[in-house]
Chain A
Amino acid sequence: MNDINVSGEVHEPASGDAAGSYEVTVVPADTDASAAPRSNAAVRRRPAGDEAVIDDRLSRATALLRQHTDAGWKAIEDNVVARALTLFRPSTPVRGRHDIGDFFLAADVIVARLRRRIDEIPAAAAQKIACTTDDRDELELVTIQLIAAYRAPLLEVAGHVHAAAMDVLGDLLGALAPATDRVRTHVHIGDVSNDPRVVI
């Protein structure tokens, strides 16, 4: 039995403390000040002028660090991103069939294609997509959780998603794509959103 469950939710719119006359210099201790060696717990007087200078120095240094992008990151950024683009996740194999025989696709490929297609549908965005296969690695179930736009006609949206999913699965899996008359659609409404960045 090949099922596609379309469930989902409609998403809600997002819409110098050391200052003082005395300074205590201690060996850094995370949680228990008394754990610091006493010899390092020297108390000394610090003139107010010095304090202002140090506060200013610390503020400047902190601001510099906040604005600073380390040369090391600049050097590895492209490499990190390029590696990210070649990464893959462990993924269930899904059997497809074309004219010259069977082949296997990673479920992640199906999920990514479904996500792209569903996000093109007005008032809908994919939130979670899961594929379940049987013991022959044939697609048994696709569960699509949706975010729908506020006031969107939900059954209509679900119908569009269902049709788009059938289309994508037919493209990817050929003769082993689930037949339309064997597909069930479940719609679950969880929340609403009118944030165009979340769902258009």
Chain B
Amino acid sequence: MPDEVLARHAGLGDKEAFAHLARRHGPALYRYVLRLLSDPADAEDCVQEVMLAAWKGLPSFRNDSSIRTWLLVLGRNQAQKLSQRQRPPFPRSGSRPTLDFDAAVAQVRDLRADPESDTIEGRLQIALDAALLLLPERQRSVWILREVEDLSYAEIASVVGLTPTAVRGLLQRARTAIAASLQEWR
């Protein structure tokens, strides 16, 4: 069933329809907010809060954007709220990374209790996560939303609150920085 139909049903009180939407978009939402917050416990709290907000907000959802984009907007907003309570919060634009690449790899590995992390693929994924960790939040968001979630520039712009042109510039910088980080990976 298409998202628009599920969203309409959920807006009219159909909890099963909402559960379908949650299962359909939960993986992408979690994947995104985990990479914003880095901490699985925070990501879990964030996803729970987003789903609660989505349930409450669906009656007034107007289909101006896709459900997925709307959930990602809610996810980013909630992640920023949680981040403000953390020390340190998201790196500010233009700030130096607080970690070098190897330290970031070690941090990501510590946070992932995943048996697959010992495989080559697992280590490569950790390296990518470490490279993302070194980026300012907006670059990280833009890169994930484009390269992983395949959102259009216009959709990304609505998630991060920028113009599509600014999104394009951020994406370019993020790609360059990630490539530089992965150059260090062995």
Interface residues of B in 20-39 (CB under 8 A from A): 22-23, 26-27, 30-31, 34
Asked if residues B170 and A30 are in contact (CB atoms below 8 Å), the reply is yes
Asked if residues A87 and B182 are in contact (CB atoms below 8 Å), the reply is no
Roughly how many angstroms separate A29 CA and B136 CA in the complex, as a whole number? 7
Min CB distance B90 to A, Å, is 11
Checking A37, A50, A70, A85 against B34 with a beta-carbon cut-off of 8 angstroms, the contacting residue is: A70
Roughly how many angstroms separate A198 CA and B124 CA in the complex, as a whole number? 43
Asked if residues A29 and B124 are in contact (CB atoms below 8 Å), the reply is no
- We find that the number of chain B residues with CB closer than 8 angstroms to chain A is 68
Given contacts A24-B176, A70-B31, A71-B114, contact A57 B55 (CB under 8 A): no
Roughly how many angstroms separate A120 CA and B46 CA in the complex, as a whole number? 36
Asked if residues B31 and A54 are in contact (CB atoms below 8 Å), the reply is no
Asked if residues B135 and A28 are in contact (CB atoms below 8 Å), the reply is yes
Interface: A197 (CB within 8 A): yes
* A residues in contact (CB < 8 Å) with B: 14, 16-18, 23-33, 35-37, 40, 46, 50, 54-55, 57-58, 60-62, 64-66, 68-73, 76-77, 80-81, 83-85, 87, 89, 108-109, 111-112, 114-116, 119, 125-129, 197-198
Roughly how many angstroms separate A17 CA and B177 CA in the complex, as a whole number? 12
Interface: B93 (CB within 8 A): yes
Min CB distance B87 to A, Å, is 20
The segment from B9-17, B69-77, B78-86, B102-110 that touches chain A is B9-17
- Complex: chain B residue closest to A64, CB-CB: B125
Task: List the B side residues contacting A111 at CB < 8 Å.
Answer: 12-13
Roughly how many angstroms separate A119 CA and B17 CA in the complex, as a whole number? 14
